[in-house]
Chain A
Amino acid sequence: MADVPLQASEGRTMASIGTILDVRGLSVHFGGIRAVNGLSCTIKEGTITGLIGPNGSGKTTFINTITGMYAPNAGQIVFRGENIAGMKPYQIARRGIGRTFQITRLFPQMTVLDNLLIAQMHQKGESVWLGVIKPASVRSQESEILEKALGFLEFVGLTRLKDELAGNLSYGQQKLLEIARIMMIDPSVILLDEPFAGVNPTNIERLLNLIVQLNAERGITIVLVEHMMKIMMRLAQTIIVMKAGALIAEGTPAEIQQNEAAIEAYLGA
């Protein structure tokens, strides 16, 4: 299925600067189940790409594999010219790929603020020696991180909850915190796995604006799994349709709504 013609990218003015993520023939098998089966696709830098498909079509497996939680059985994942397939999750995160989870996964017994502070890369105080001694360099880095974290808390509107345990937040607040946390790693790509699921309408609007802001103002490439087509129409420049672990269509939201394979597989009549 990898030879499906790419229908996108013609006549579009938005930032088609280049490919940031190039997935080639990716396969992930669990025993006899081919969760992702020879998938190839490219993600353009600075875009919002939507990923849709029926339940069990391999969307989450795809994200888990890009972020290193699963090792692929075959294929390459080329990020900025480097094959990251099979790397450990922390190695991939350090290259600037962040993600959120379908069901939020925070550190429930840590405060909201600590959930952000921890996500900063390359902290000097994360070595045993420097952690115990806490020289001036560690303390000054710590106050820089604190300032940055407070900035992102402000950004998602959770400042007044900074000392609350993350496990005590409402579900919508947890979704916001999860996005703030991943911003702390200074990502160039964020993979969002159903960020709107279970969020009430007020917070949906807030999340939508947030995602647009991250993309437009900070230039972060976003890959979004979402079932609500209305949201996809508003956000995504390109949509990738998956079925049974393979790509069956790719194009602009308008094109996908006309695409017969996509309609049959997912959108319904």
Chain B
Amino acid sequence: MYDYLVHILILICIYSVLTMSFSLALGYTGLPVFSQPAFFAIGAYAAAFMSAAGVPFWLEIFLSGAVAACVAFVMSFAALQLRGDYFAIVTLGFSEITRLALLNESARYSAAGDVGIVGVARPTFAGLDFNSLPHFLILAFGIMLLTFVVLRRLVHSPYGRVIRAIRDDEDVTDVIGKDTRQFKVEVLMLVGFFAGIAGSLWAHYIQFVHPTQFTPDLLVFILASVVLFNEASIGGAILGSAFMVAFPELMRFLGLPESSVGALRLLIMGLTVVVIILLREHRRGRNGRRTVASE
């Protein structure tokens, strides 16, 4: 029971790193970066390869983020030609291309077909061993906290002001002297970086990397987590992730009839999400806020 609880908390920490960076893009900048699963996957694969090659953990987790950031940089050349829904579609396409490439390429190099990467080691770092679950939780929580502090400080700085302006009206932001393209490239790279770090944590925690972990289902999960409470809030992304991970687990203890437990859980989950969003919109309507973050 204790291990189970720690497991849930670790998942919340890892997903939070992913969703906080997504909030930076969608909630603050108005960029629907739907390639989040690809950056997550790239971070995970990079970590798995580097870990096998004996790269020290602190360097390897940083490099996993850096590799994903570089991929985001390259993707930005194509994706930033477009805006709004079109940008979303291109980045979603990029995500699927990455997943399918990983699927097919790994199958090509292995006689056994597509088996993913098995046995990624739990990290050791500065004489500490993060093999046990509580230790890994401390590591994951530390990285989540660091991500939270960095992103929160960033959105409450002049930089944050510019990206919120881009969300509200990109052309006008340009007209008042901001190189909006550069800001968007930087945001994409930050998103890639933190998603890559989350991927690295994931690989070390699950100890197994496979393309089926990075399907559009993951994107739906991230999107729901971020939009649930407030997409323009770094803390809201953590709350959303906690809800999306923990709520289905809590329903295990409701004593639902076994014959229809699967369907009932989904039904309750769906209803709860709808109710939360409705309450959110109601509250916002009173404040006279517009609700759509992207154009």
- Contact status B158-A185, CB under 8 Å: no
Report chain B residues within 8 Å CB of A117.
158, 161
Task: Check A107 for interface membership: any CB of B closer than 8 A.
Answer: yes
A168 and B288 contact, Cβ closer than 8 Å, known pairs A105-B169, A118-B176, A138-B158: yes
Task: Check B125 for interface membership: any CB of A closer than 8 A.
Answer: no
> Which single member of A93, A126, A128, A167 contacts B176 (CB below 8 Å)?
A93
Report chain A residues within 8 Å CB of B190.
128
Stretch at the interface among B56-64, B178-186, B250-258: B178-186
Report chain A residues within 8 Å CB of B172.
101, 105-107
Within 8 A of B (CB), among A118-166: 118-119, 121, 123-128, 130-134, 138, 142, 165
Q: Smallest Cβ distance from B161 to chain A, in angstroms?
A: 5
Q: Give B269-295 as 1s and 0s: 1 = Cβ < 8 Å from A's Cβ atoms.
A: 000000000000000000011100000
Task: Check A198 for interface membership: any CB of B closer than 8 A.
Answer: no
A123 and B158 contact, Cβ closer than 8 Å, known pairs A107-B164, A118-B176, A185-B177: yes
Total interface residues in chain A, CB < 8 Å: 42
Report Cα–Cα, A108/B289, bound state, in Å.
Answer: 9
A89 and B174 contact, Cβ closer than 8 Å, known pairs A108-B290, A126-B162, A167-B288: yes
Report chain B residues within 8 Å CB of A134.
153, 157
Beta-carbon nearest neighbor of B181 in chain A: A88
- Contact status B164-A109, CB under 8 Å: yes
> Which single member of B158, B159, B176 contacts A182 (CB below 8 Å)?
B176
- Contact status A131-B154, CB under 8 Å: yes
Report chain B residues within 8 Å CB of A167.
288-290
Task: Check A110 for interface membership: any CB of B closer than 8 A.
Answer: yes
- Contact status B157-A121, CB under 8 Å: no
- Contact status B158-A110, CB under 8 Å: no
Task: Check B99 for interface membership: any CB of A closer than 8 A.
Answer: no
Report Cα–Cα, A99/B161, bound state, in Å.
Answer: 20
- Contact status B160-A109, CB under 8 Å: no
Report chain B residues within 8 Å CB of A101.
172
Q: Smallest Cβ distance from B172 to chain A, in angstroms?
A: 5
Report Cα–Cα, A182/B160, bound state, in Å.
Answer: 20
- Contact status A109-B168, CB under 8 Å: yes
- Contact status A99-B175, CB under 8 Å: yes
**Is chain B's binding surface mostly helix, strand, loop or mixed?**
helix
Q: Give A57-70 as 1s and 0s: 1 = Cβ < 8 Å from B's Cβ atoms.
A: 00000000001110
A110 and B180 contact, Cβ closer than 8 Å, known pairs A89-B175, A131-B154: no
Report Cα–Cα, A93/B165, bound state, in Å.
Answer: 16
Report Cα–Cα, A100/B62, bound state, in Å.
Answer: 44
Report Cα–Cα, A185/B174, bound state, in Å.
Answer: 12
> Which single member of B168, B174, B288 contacts A90 (CB below 8 Å)?
B174
Q: Give B228-272 as 1s and 0s: 1 = Cβ < 8 Å from A's Cβ atoms.
A: 000000000000000000000000000000000000000000000
- Contact status A90-B177, CB under 8 Å: yes
Question: In this complex, which of A67, A117, A119, A127 has the most chain B Cβ atoms within 10 angstroms of its Cβ?
Answer: A119
Task: Check A181 for interface membership: any CB of B closer than 8 A.
Answer: yes
Report chain A residues within 8 Å CB of B171.
69, 89, 105
Report Cα–Cα, A114/B157, bound state, in Å.
Answer: 11
Task: Check A94 for interface membership: any CB of B closer than 8 A.
Answer: yes
- Contact status A90-B180, CB under 8 Å: yes
- Contact status A110-B165, CB under 8 Å: yes
Report chain A residues within 8 Å CB of B122.
none
- Contact status B159-A128, CB under 8 Å: yes
Report Cα–Cα, A232/B173, bound state, in Å.
Answer: 30
- Contact status B167-A109, CB under 8 Å: yes
- Contact status A90-B159, CB under 8 Å: no
Task: Check B53 for interface membership: any CB of A closer than 8 A.
Answer: no
Report chain A residues within 8 Å CB of B288.
165, 167-168
Question: In this complex, which of B160, B165, B180, B288 has the most chain A Cβ atoms within 10 angstroms of its Cβ?
Answer: B165
Q: Smallest Cβ distance from A11 to chain B, in angstroms?
A: 37
Task: Check B150 for interface membership: any CB of A closer than 8 A.
Answer: yes
Report chain A residues within 8 Å CB of B177.
90, 93-94, 119, 121, 185
A131 and B290 contact, Cβ closer than 8 Å, known pairs A93-B175, A94-B177: no
- Contact status B153-A107, CB under 8 Å: no
Return the 5 tightest CB-CB contacts between A and B, nearest first.
A125-B158, A131-B159, A131-B157, A93-B177, A107-B168
Identify 25 residue pairs between A and B in the complex whose beta-carbon atoms are under 8 Å apart, listed by A's number. Answer: A69-B174, A90-B179, A90-B180, A93-B177, A98-B175, A99-B175, A105-B172, A106-B172, A107-B164, A110-B161, A110-B165, A117-B161, A118-B162, A123-B158, A125-B157, A126-B162, A128-B159, A128-B186, A132-B153, A142-B158, A165-B288, A167-B290, A181-B176, A182-B176, A185-B177
Chain B residues in the interface with A (C-beta under 8 A): 150, 153-154, 157-162, 164-165, 167-169, 171-180, 186, 190, 288-290
Chain A residues in the interface with B (C-beta under 8 A): 67-69, 88-90, 93-94, 98-99, 101, 105-110, 114, 117-119, 121, 123-128, 130-134, 138, 142, 165, 167-168, 181-182, 184-185
Other contacts beyond A107-B172, A108-B168: 8, CB < 8 A: A69-B175, A89-B171, A93-B176, A98-B176, A107-B165, A109-B289, A110-B165, A138-B157
